[in-house]
Chain A
Amino acid sequence: MARHLLITRPEHDYTTRYLSAWSEKLFDLIKSKGYSIIDLYRKRANRKEIESILSKKNPDLVIINGHGSDDAVAGHDNNLLIKAGDNSFLLGNKITYAISCRSARVLGREIAQNAETAYIGYRDDFILVYLEKYRTRPIEDKVAGLFLNPSNLVVTALIKGHSVKESVSRAQQEFLRNIQKLLTSKVKSDDSSILRYLVWDMRNLTFCGDENKKLKS
């Protein structure tokens, strides 16, 4: 049976462009592990499309890139995608990772009430620092990479068969490695000044629901 992975990649501001570009880096690995990618890119990252795909294709893993709040995550142009008490039940029986602000607080907890379900996200704002000169070529931005490589590791670990708990832990360790690299004396003080934001994201990355859930091999 085909295994599907659904990803949303809105691109209506620089932050979503960064998230989108760095997520795309995962595509080769995802495909190599036998998943077909359903890519809701730009305008396709809308409520109608995601509801339709979740119902019809039943993806094992859902990756949501976009802005969020305590009880909702958004798609292209900040249009509502998934909201607690509305269509969140569609993420039941799946693993979801939302690179999105604060959605683990209410939305994630609600989704995690479903059986065999896990939601990985952030308790508070997801802070991303990038350099203005790389806005049009985000993949080359090493400062952004300090944030987005650990984030990508959540997906990499899940795809490789690790549990939700292990995957989050691996990503937190990667944040920590980046933090410790910046703490060494060899880096410039302006690079180490972003430490506070890495610590923030590391501490706010969390999961709700079935911590032992893994993708089926």
Chain B
Amino acid sequence: MEDKEKIEYDEDVKKLVAARLETLPDDAVISVGSDGEFTKEQIIKSVLKGDEIGQKMVEIEMSFLQSLKEGILYGETLADN
């Protein structure tokens, strides 16, 4: 896992992200590179626990919400290189 400064997410944020992850297919496996492969149940637990994988999932969720705000999903802009 990366060495970025660890952000402590609020309990409410963790609960919100966990609830949003409930909509994943039951048999989905999320591969997070060399950190491993996780079932839906495992990542939800990680989010609530706030461990490294959970933190990553919250970061992804925040990035997704930011993308919605920026209009990326509707093709208004695309990530710069």
A residues at B contact (CB < 8 Å)? 13-15, 18, 67-70, 74, 78, 100-102, 124-133, 135, 143, 165, 168-169, 172-173, 176, 179-180, 183, 189-197, 199-200, 202-207, 211
Contacts and interface: CB of A to CB of B under 8 A. Distances in A.
A18 B31 CA distance: 11
Nearest to B61: A196
A67 B35 CA distance: 9
B19 to A, nearest CB: 11
Interface in B6-59: 20-21, 23-35, 37, 39, 56
Contacts of B30: 127-129, 197
Nearest to A132: B27
Q: Give the 8 A-B residue pairs with the shortest CB-CB distance, closest first.
A: A101-B33, A67-B34, A196-B64, A193-B23, A15-B31, A203-B79, A132-B27, A128-B31
A131 B24 CA distance: 11
Given A183-B73, A207-B81, A125 B24 contact: no
Contacts of B33: 15, 67-68, 100-102, 125-127
A129 B24 CA distance: 10
A200 B64 contact: yes
